[in-house]
Structure 1
Amino acid sequence: MTATATTVGDLFAVIERRPDLLVDADLTVEKDGTAFAVRGYDDLVAVDLPSFGAALELWRDRPVERTDAAAALAAVGLTAEIRVRGAPVVRLGSDAVPSRLANRLGLGPLELLADGLLLALTPQRG
């Protein structure tokens, strides 16, 4: 007999009984004319955006609340890392260690990566 989830709580209960997921992906996604890469490496899903502005736009238009996303990722053993031009700026999910800065800013269970934030804000050289 297969249980059907009717609430978010039911869904998490079903997910928690399953083994951890492993992801193998190499995608290019386009949203509102902005292309970005999504790559999966076992238990890490990296979303690499072309600019800090694109990251903020994706943040504003997120389809689910960050606490729900973090909980769902952690429940299946996955970590999502948001990168800007290759520099990791935010991590959430299984391996994320929520930072005090994120908590102070009211961002929830996110790990802000200060070094990556600085690199993301640095103009491109070349």
Structure 2
Amino acid sequence: MTATATTVGDLFAVIERRPALAIDADLTVEKDGTAFAVRGYDDLVAVDLPSLGAALELWRDRPVDGPDAAAALDAAGLTAELRVRGAPVARLGADAVPSGLAERLGLGPLELLVDGLLLALTQQRG
């Protein structure tokens, strides 16, 4: 008999009983006219966007709140990494260390990667 999750807590319980997930993906996704790449490497899902603006728009339009998404990724042993033209700017999930700055900015439990953010900003100006 398979249990059906009816609450977020039930979902986490179901996920925790399953073996660790491994993701293998190589996709191009388009949202509102903006194309971006989604690559899966075992327990990391990298989303590579063309600009910081596109990254912020994707974060604002996410279907699940940041804390819920972080908890679900963590329970599944997965990490999502947002990149801007290859430069990692933020992480969410199992391997992320949430930053106080992200919380103060209202971004939720994100790990902001300052070096990647600076590189993404520099690339936009050039």
Residue 39, structure 1, aligned to residue 39, structure 2: yes
Partner residue in 1 for 2:93: 93
How far apart, in 1, do the equivalents of 2:28 and 2:9 lie? 32
Q: Which runs of 5+ in 2 are unaligned?
A: none
**Could you list the runs of 4 or more consecutive aligned residues of structure 1 that deviate by over 3 angstroms after TM superposition?**
123-126
What value does the CA root-mean-square deviation take over the aligned residues? 1.4
- State the one-letter code of the partner of 2:79: T
How far apart, in 1, do the equivalents of 2:24 and 2:59 lie? 24
Task: Verify the 8 A CA contact 2:81 2:91 in the aligned structure 1.
Answer: yes
How far apart, in 2, do the equivalents of 1:90 and 1:15 lie? 24
Deviations 1:42-75 (A, max 9, x none): 0100000011111111111111101111101010
- State the one-letter code of the partner of 2:95: D
How far apart, in 1, do the equivalents of 2:18 and 2:46 lie? 23
Correspondences of 1:12-23 after superposition (within 5 Å):
12-23=12-23
Between the two proteins, the alignment pairs up a number of residues equal to 126
How far apart, in 1, do the equivalents of 2:123 and 2:92 lie? 26
Deviations 1:7-26 (A, max 9, x none): 11111111111111000100
**What's the TM-score, normalizing by structure 2?**
0.94
Shift of 1:125: 8.0
CA gap 1:6/1:40 in 2 versus in 1, 3 angstroms: same
Q: Which runs of 5+ in 1 are unaligned?
A: none
Deviations 1:61-97 (A, max 9, x none): 1111011111010101100000001100010100001
Shift of 1:108: 2.5
